[in-house]
Every structure is written in structure tokens, then in C-alpha cells.
Amino acid sequence: MIDLSKGAPRTDPLLLLSPDFSGWLAGQDVSLALTTYQAGRLVMIGRRPDGSVRAHERLIEQCQGLWTDGQSLWTSSMHALWRFENDMAAGAVTPQGVDRRFVPREGRITGRIDCHDIGLGEDGPVFVNTLFNGLCGISDNGSFRPLWKPPFISDWVPEDRCHLNGLAMDGTRPAYVTAVSRSDTLDGWRERRVDGGVIVDVASGEIVCSGLSMPHSPRLYDSRLWVLNSGHGQFGEVDRETGAFTPVAFCPGYARGLAFIGRYAVIGLSRPRNNQTFAGLPLDQELASRDAEPRCGLIVVNIDTGVTQEWLRFAHTLDELYDVAVLPGVSQPEMIGFQGDAIKTTIKPEQVAARS
């Protein structure tokens, strides 16, 4: 169990879990990772050998975007992109049951560009540069390498105009992005939060879905396009031919972060901030109609039935999540932090193929 509180530790539990959350992790043979923008932490959710759920966290300031295949891991921070690599041999397990240990291997300084979703392209990470309203890659001599911007954005300027945030990859190709609006003026998206949200086809630049409220986390899975209609608290599917959005499940919180395993979607939930960005969204009425309060945590939804099968809730301290990722074939992951003895003593020479 982790304690993210400041000052004296709290005695009430941080994590509340559905009765079979651990069993679901075991049945799918996965662990989970999530980023906490507000609290500045990357949290990994796994299983101890006795079957109990363990949360392991590391401090990464304003971490948002997250990508992993279970061996490599990229995440964003306030001013950098970080690459971590697993340094444990295949099949190795510590006496405590840890079977994956991510070590920081590379940092790319981007400056404070408000980096959101991350994917892995043919030449490295592709990430949403929200400040500049476009998709970018890493650069050896600059803060980033511009790759693509929506046709409705007239120039590469550091003005968050449309609040580009989500990225759906098709293999190594950026396929779709989400934006809160089509605004082409500084901070123009804020006046379009209720119904200005769009999904854009990267290849054509065409709008494939509109009328959404602050959409996030577009994903291609099972040959279908999924998205979180966050301002309504909806997880759903988009018909790419007609542009129609069909809700599949209600999310009891501001939904950001979406990952899939088998027939399940893992969705991140946040408690909306009491400020201009989140005030007055349709989600307020959706929750009120259900006599419910917004939650911070995860829900596991069956994508065929729309039923929430499992859930995890942060009872206190954490209010906002940004991204969620699945680590397949991993029981209990850990990360090495940027400070302390572990990073000083974790030394592993590059493996060189033996000569014949």
C-alpha cells in the first residue's frame, strides 16, 4: 500500500477495490500503470504473491502521457519526456514477487509544452504538444520536431488554441487525435467545452466526429474507434463512416486515460477541479441525475455489454488521473526513482552478442 499524503500518514485506506479486482488482474495476466497529473506521480498497480493488490509509485512532476509495451515505458513530465527500460531478465522474479523493474535510461528536455498523449512511431515517440496544437517527435537539437497539425490551426505558435490532447495510433502510425475545439485563437477552446470537441483523421485532416464535450483518449481496438466523451462522462464508440458517437458506458467521474485487454476497457476517472475549465459541463447533471459524486480511480468495463465489472478508487489524496496503460504478462512492476541509492547502484552493461 502507498501513502501519498503530506505530513503525518493517514490511517484510513487510500485504495478501495472491488472484491475481485485482484482476481481480474490475475485472470487477464496484467498489471496496470497510471499517471496522476495533479499529484505528480506514476503509479503501478500489481499483485503480490499472496494475491493482494500492491500500488507502487514514483514522483514525476506533472506526468500525463504514458506508453508502454511491458518492456519499455515512456512518460511525460512538466518539461521532459522520460524513457524507462525493464532491466530484469525474462522469467526473473524477486523474493517479493517483482517481475518487472523499470529503470530511467533517457530524458528529452522539451520545455513546458503541456505534453499529453504519447505513442511510439517508427522513429521513436510521437506525442501531443498541446501548447503548440500539434503532433511532435523528439529532436537532437531542439525542444521537439514538428510532425503534424490540424488543418484548422494556421501556424506553429505557443498558444493553446484548440487543446489538442488525445492520440490514437494504428500500429506505428498516428491515426486520430482529439481536440476540445477547432478554435484558432489563443485559449479559444475554453468557450467551446460543452459541444465543440472533435476527432480528426491525421492522414486526411478531416473531422470524423464532432459535437463532443472535451473528448480524450481516442484508441483503435478490435478494429473500432473508441473515445472518452469526458464532459458527459461517457465511454463510447465512433462510427468512422457516419461520425456518430454511441455511448457504451457511463463513467462516474471526468474520464481520461483508456487502455484495453481482452474484452475489457480500463478507464481512468478524476474528480473535476472547481474552476473554469470543468465548471458547467454536462457531467454535472449526469452525476446529479444518478445521485452520485465524481470519483478518482479506475473502472473496468466489458466492451460487449457496457457493464462495469471491476473498479479501483482512491479514497483521498489523489483527485486527478490522466493516462492509463496495461502491462501484459506482468504481475508486480516497480520503477527506479531519479534519486536515492537504487539509481546509484543499478548498473547494467549493454548486452553484446557473443562472437562466433
pLDDT tens by residue, 270-303: 998 765 677 789 999 999 999 999 999 999 999 9
pLDDT tens by residue, 19-31: 999 999 999 999 9
pLDDT tens by residue, 100-130: 999 999 999 999 999 999 999 999 999 999 9
Look at the block and give the residue holding cell 478518482: 296
pTM of the model: 0.93
Q: What is the pLDDT of residue 3?
A: 41
Q: What is the pLDDT of residue 80?
A: 97
Q: Is the pLDDT of residue 254 over 80?
A: yes
CATH assignment, 15-344: 2.120.10.30
d(CA 262, CA 98): 24
Q: Is the pLDDT of residue 5 over 70?
A: no
Q: Exposure of 8 by Cβ count < 10 A (0-12 exposed, 13-18 middle, 19+ buried)?
A: exposed
Q: Is the pLDDT of residue 86 over 80?
A: yes
| Domain locations in the chain as residue ranges | 15-344
pLDDT (average), residues 321-325 = 97
Q: What is the pLDDT of residue 353?
A: 63
End-to-end CA distance of the chain: 49
pLDDT tens by residue, 255-265: 999 999 999 99
User: What is the residue type of 105?
Assistant: R
| Residue 342 Ramachandran class (φ > 0 left, ψ -120 to 50 alpha, else beta) | alpha
Q: What is the CA radius of gyration of the chain?
A: 20
41, 56 Cβ separation under 8 angstroms: no
DSSP state letters, 177-242:
EEES----STTGGGGGTTT-EEEEETTT--EEEEEESSEEEEEEETTEEEEEEGGGTEEEEE-TTT
pLDDT (average), residues 175-179 = 98
Better-scored residue on pLDDT, 344 or 323: 323
